Amino acid sequence: MKIINNYLTIILLSIVLCNCAELEPVSYSEINPSIFPKTEEDLKSLVMSCYYPLRGSWWDGINTNSERGQMFINDCCTEILAGTFDAQKMCHEMSFTENDIAVTYFYYNRIGERSDYSDGFCNKISRCTLVMDAIENSSLSRELKDKYIAEVRCARGYLAYILFDMYGPLVVAPLEVLKNPLQEEPLPRLTNEEMVKFIEDDLVFAGEHLPFPKQAEYGRFSRGLAKTLLIRLYLHETVHDKAYYDKIETIAREVMSEYGYELVPEYTTLFSTAGMTKSNPEYIFVVPSSKEGPNLSQWQMMVLTGDMDGYPQLGWHTIQSTWWFYDTFEPDDTRKTYMIAEYNHTYQDAKTKETVTETFNRQNPGQYLQLGPLPQKYQISYNNSTVTDMDIVLYRYSEILLSLAEAIVMKPGGNVTQEAVDLMNRVRKRAKLVEKSINDFPTKESFTNQLLTERSHEFWCESGQYRADLIRFDKLYDRVMEVTGGAPYAAKYKCLFPLPLSVIVDGKGKVKQNPGYGE
Q: What is the CATH number of the domain that holds 140?
A: 1.25.40.390
Which residues, at least 6 apart from 192, have a Cβ–Cβ distance to it below 8 Å? 168, 169, 240
Position 37 in a domain: yes
Q: Give, in order, the Cα–Cα distances in Å from 375 to each of 339, 463, 464.
A: 5, 15, 14
Phi first, then psi, for residue 171 (nearest 5°) are -90, 120
CA 422 to CA 436: how far, in whole Å? 8
Q: Look up the domain containing 165 and give its range.
A: 2-62+92-272+499-506
Query: Residue 112: is it exposed, middle or buried by C-beta count within 10 angstroms (0-12/13-18/19+)?
Result: exposed
Amino acid, single-letter form, for residue 345: H
CA 55 to CA 52: how far, in whole Å? 6
pLDDT number for residue 314: 81
375, 319 in Cβ contact below 8 A?
yes
Position 35 in a domain: yes
Position 303 in a domain: no
pLDDT number for residue 24: 36
Intervals of the chain under pLDDT 50: 1-29
163, 212 in Cβ contact below 8 A?
no
Diameter of the chain by CA atoms? 79
Position 449 in a domain: no
CA 74 to CA 65: how far, in whole Å? 11
Contacts 24+ apart (CB under 8 A), 508-516: 508/21, 508/22, 508/186, 509/186, 510/21, 510/186, 510/187, 510/188, 511/21, 511/171, 511/186, 511/187, 511/188, 511/189, 512/188, 512/189, 513/98, 514/167, 514/168, 516/491
Position 287 in a domain: no
What is the full DSSP assignment across 224-254?
A: HHHHHHHHHHHHHHTTT-TTHHHHHHHHHHH
Kind and range of the H or E run holding 265: none
Position 168 in a domain: yes
- Taking only the tens place, the pLDDT of each residue in 358-407 is 999 999 999 999 999 999 999 999 887 789 999 999 999 999 999 999 99
pLDDT number for residue 21: 36
Q: Count the residues in the chain.
A: 519
pLDDT number for residue 113: 83
281, 275 in Cβ contact below 8 A?
no
Position 49 in a domain: yes
pLDDT number for residue 34: 53
Give the count of domains, the chain: 1
pLDDT number for residue 385: 79
Position 234 in a domain: yes
CA 404 to chain CA mean position, Å: 20
